[in-house]
Amino acid sequence: MQQQNKLASFETAVLPHLDAAYNLARWLTRNDADAEDVVQEAYLRAFRFFGGFHGEDGRAWLLGIVRNTTYTWMQHNRSPQLSMQLDDELHEAKSDDLNPEALLLQKADAQMLRQAVEELPLEFREVLVLRELNEMSYKQIAAVADLPLGTVMSRLARARKRLQQILASHAKTEVLS
């Protein structure tokens, strides 16, 4: 009976965040199959250590486990990606109309944005995905990433600047082509 209560509590606190967990793992690993493996392992770890969860923010708690599981997985499979380069960059994508031409341009912009985000170093990609796609607060990101709040803010600013430069570079390359 106690195991059933644990399972029910786990499902209530953690299962609703499956999409956010996959989203984070997918952006960090850059691969659907790897992200699925990481999320599966993260959920197993979360269930195993659910006794340490005391009803705080289940989403932040789970994403912290997903993040750590992803880094562990990447250390064993892709260690060179864990190095960070700290130069600054940034750009912005726009699209308002819903006519066929605008939709085609919007799709191209979305693809360019996705590619640019994937080019970011892992540490920048991580905070950007947590903030912009998972809509987490700086404080939640700091808890998930186990970083000081100032570091989160700095990385996010650098990630946005670098993203802008990557997108500007891609746009310039397209114009010259």
pTM: 0.65
**What are the strands, taking DSSP E only, across 1-128?**
none
Per-residue pLDDT of the chain (177 residues; tens, 9 = 90+): 577 777 788 888 888 999 999 999 999 999 999 999 999 999 999 989 888 887 778 898 999 999 999 999 998 887 554 444 444 444 444 444 456 766 666 677 778 888 888 999 999 999 999 998 888 999 999 999 999 999 999 999 999 999 999 988 877 777 676
Cα atoms in the 13 Å half-sphere on the side-chain side of 4:
1
Predicted confidence at residue 97, as pLDDT, reads 45
Q: At what angle do helices 149-176 and 138-145 cross, to 10 degrees?
A: 100
C-alpha–C-alpha distance, residues 22 and 65, integer Å = 12
Size of the chain, expressed as the number of residues it contains = 177
How confident is the model over 14-65, as pLDDT tens digits? 889 999 999 999 999 999 999 999 999 999 999 898 888 877 788 989 999 9
Predicted confidence at residue 87, as pLDDT, reads 43
C-alpha–C-alpha distance, residues 167 and 128, integer Å = 15
